[in-house]
């Protein structure tokens, strides 16, 4: 089943206390329609997993397909959180397998401890074991919890080597650079 770009979704699942990934735009540019589901501070992990399952069922019943689903971990490793995380992944993957496409990204902050990293990789491994023969992928990504500070400044001109003939694009860039000075 082929899906147009308009029917592709990026689904972002934020566990309570997790941070919005600054690199999310990399995924969203391929699936402009977003569904963001955030766990409230007072919502139990098992209730949040049930809410993800209901929303996944709604997506499965419609024409849209999940291009990418990101589950952003809050780092909790208690039994209830780990079990709920597995259930949320299973709900999202069920839709992807049904629609024959998608990628699940398990994400956490760059400073995630080794225990969380191990848990997410183990979860990804067990999920991959169930996806044999499908076009669905599972990945793990660790990144900064906040955007990197931007660096602003002036780029110095580069002198071309002797004998280098500038392309039209290079001449236009040099012209704009002179105008900005």
Domain membership flag for residue 89: yes
Q: Which two tokens stand for residue 65?
A: 């397909």
Rounded distance, CA 38 to CA 106, Å? 15
Contacts of 83 (CB under 8 A, 6+ apart): 45, 46, 49
Its domain, for residue 55, covers 5-143
Domain membership flag for residue 62: yes
Domain membership flag for residue 63: yes
Which pLDDT score is estimated for 24?
77
Domain membership flag for residue 119: yes
Sequence length of the chain is: 181
Domain membership flag for residue 176: no
Of the chain, the percentage scoring pLDDT greater than 90 comes to 57
Of the chain, the percentage scoring pLDDT greater than 70 comes to 73
Q: pLDDT band for position 167 (50/70/90)?
A: low
- pLDDT over 70 at 122, yes or no: yes
Domain membership flag for residue 132: yes
- pTM, entire model: 0.74
Q: Read off the pLDDT of each residue in 50-74 and give the average, rounded to a whole number.
A: 95
Q: pLDDT band for position 161 (50/70/90)?
A: low
Q: Read off the pLDDT of each residue in 2-18 and give the average, rounded to a whole number.
A: 81
* Cβ–Cβ under 8 Å, residues 107 and 70: yes
List the end-to-end C-alpha distance of the chain, in Å, as a whole number: 54
- pLDDT over 50 at 151, yes or no: no
| CA 141, chain centre distance (Å) | 8
Q: Read off the pLDDT of each residue in 36-54 and give the average, rounded to a whole number.
A: 97
Q: Which two tokens stand for residue 124?
A: 């990804």
When mean pLDDT is compared across 9-23, 43-57, 98-112, 149-163, the lowest value belongs to: 149-163
Residue 64, number of CB atoms within 10 A of its CB = 20
CATH of the domain at 40: 3.40.50.720
Domain membership flag for residue 40: yes
- pLDDT over 70 at 94, yes or no: yes
Q: Read off the pLDDT of each residue in 119-124 and give the average, rounded to a whole number.
A: 96
Q: Which residue has the higher pLDDT, 177 or 61?
A: 61
Domain membership flag for residue 179: no
The number of folded domains in the chain is 1
* DSSP one-letter string for 6-65: GGEEEEEEE-TT----TTTHHHHTT--EEEEEE--TTS-HHHHHHHHHHHHHHHHHSS-E
Q: Read off the pLDDT of each residue in 123-130 and give the average, rounded to a whole number.
A: 92
Which pLDDT score is estimated for 118?
97
Q: Read off the pLDDT of each residue in 147-158 and give the average, rounded to a whole number.
A: 43
């Amino acid at each position: 089943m082929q899906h147009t770009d308009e029917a592709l979704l990026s689904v972002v699942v934020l566990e309570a206390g997790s941070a919005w990934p600054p690199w999310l735009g990399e995924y969203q540019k391929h699936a402009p329609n977003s569904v963001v589901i955030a766990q409230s501070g007072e919502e139990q992990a098992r209730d949040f997993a049930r809410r993800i399952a209901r929303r996944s069922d709604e997506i499965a019943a419609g024409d849209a397909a999940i291009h990418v689903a990101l589950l952003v971990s809050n780092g909790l490793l208690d039994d209830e959180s780990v079990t709920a995380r597995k259930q949320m992944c299973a709900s999202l993957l069920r839709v992807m397998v049904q629609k024959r496409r998608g990628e699940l990204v398990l994400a956490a902050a760059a400073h995630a401890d080794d225990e969380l990293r191990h848990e997410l990789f183990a979860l990804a491994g067990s999920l991959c074991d169930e996806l044999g023969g499908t076009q669905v992928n599972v990945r793990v990504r660790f990144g900064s919890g906040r955007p990197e500070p931007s660096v602003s400044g002036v780029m110095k001109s580069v002198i071309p080597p002797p004998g280098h003939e500038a392309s039209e694009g290079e001449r236009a860039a040099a012209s704009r650079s002179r105008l900005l000075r």
